[in-house]
Each structure stands twice: as structure tokens, then as C-alpha cells.
């Protein structure tokens, strides 16, 4: 799959991130919670090119657990945590996770995506 997975429970932020990434030429699969995103990634036959996720979300699993599960099955997948919440950072500090603190701007988002998932 050549898509970026974006997981964000705040609708306006989700729409903004999707719109920006699509404007830059990326294919994007948006999800409102980690449960839906995990089911999609688990059942997918090929890895997404990048995961962008918030940490605090409703549902059975949060962003930290989503990252753990994803990296267990796809250890090479780059992950960006887009969150204003950092107290869970020690839980995933040993993983190769990149942080994009909220609030972020479009240039910051684009810059990190280009580094981790350059367009062909």
C-alpha cells in the first residue's frame, strides 16, 4: 500500500491533515480511532508507508498501544506521533517514533513526511 495512515479523533484536525497530505500528493487513509486503524493495518496484506497518530483517543486501544502493535508486525514502518500529550512518551521511547508536537503547522507536517515517506 502506498498510503499514509492518519489516526486522529478530532474531526477538524483529521480533515486538515488529510487535505494537506493529499495536496502534496500522498494517498491517505483516515481513521477516527486506533481500533479501526489497527483492524485495517492488521488485515492489510502490505504495510502502509507511514503511520501518523495521536495518543489520546477513545476506544479499546490508544495511540501508544496502536504504535506497539504496528511495530510488532511492521517494525520498519515509520511512525509520527502528532500529539500535545507527552506523558506516555516513555512507554514508546525505545521505538523509532518521531514526535510532531501539537500545535504544528503545515510546513512541519510536510517536512517530516518528506523525510520519512518521500514521494516517488
Q: What is the CATH number of the domain that holds 45?
A: 3.40.50.2300
Question: What one-character DSSP code corresponds to residue 94?
Answer: T
For the chain, the average pLDDT equals 89
Task: Please tell me the predicted confidence (pLDDT) of residue 9.
Answer: 95
- Rounded Cα distance, 66 and 33, in Å: 10
pLDDT over 60 (residue 87)? no
Domain that holds residue 37: 3-116
How many domains does the chain fold into?
1
Among 118, 82, 112, 72, smallest CA distance to 9 is for 82
Q: How confident is the model at residue 75 (pLDDT cuts 50, 70, 90)?
A: confident
Determine the average pLDDT of the residues in 46-75.
91
Check: pTM over 0.85? Answer yes or no: yes
Task: Please tell me the predicted confidence (pLDDT) of residue 47.
Answer: 82
Amino acid at each position: 500500500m502506498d498510503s499514509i495512515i492518519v489516526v486522529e479523533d478530532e474531526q477538524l484536525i483529521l480533515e486538515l491533515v488529510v487535505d494537506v497530505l493529499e495536496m502534496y500528493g500522498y494517498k491517505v487513509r483516515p481513521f477516527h480511532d486506533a481500533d479501526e486503524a489497527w483492524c485495517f493495518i492488521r488485515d492489510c496484506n502490505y504495510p502502509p508507508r507511514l503511520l501518523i497518530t495521536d495518543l489520546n483517543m477513545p476506544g479499546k486501544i490508544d495511540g501508544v498501544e496502536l504504535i506497539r502493535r504496528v511495530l510488532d508486525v511492521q517494525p520498519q514502518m515509520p511512525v509520527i506521533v502528532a500529539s500535545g500529550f507527552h506523558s506516555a512518551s516513555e512507554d514508546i521511547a525505545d521505538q523509532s517514533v518521531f514526535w510532531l508536537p501539537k500545535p504544528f503547522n503545515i510546513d512541519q507536517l510536510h517536512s517530516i513526511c518528506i523525510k520519512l515517506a518521500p514521494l516517488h
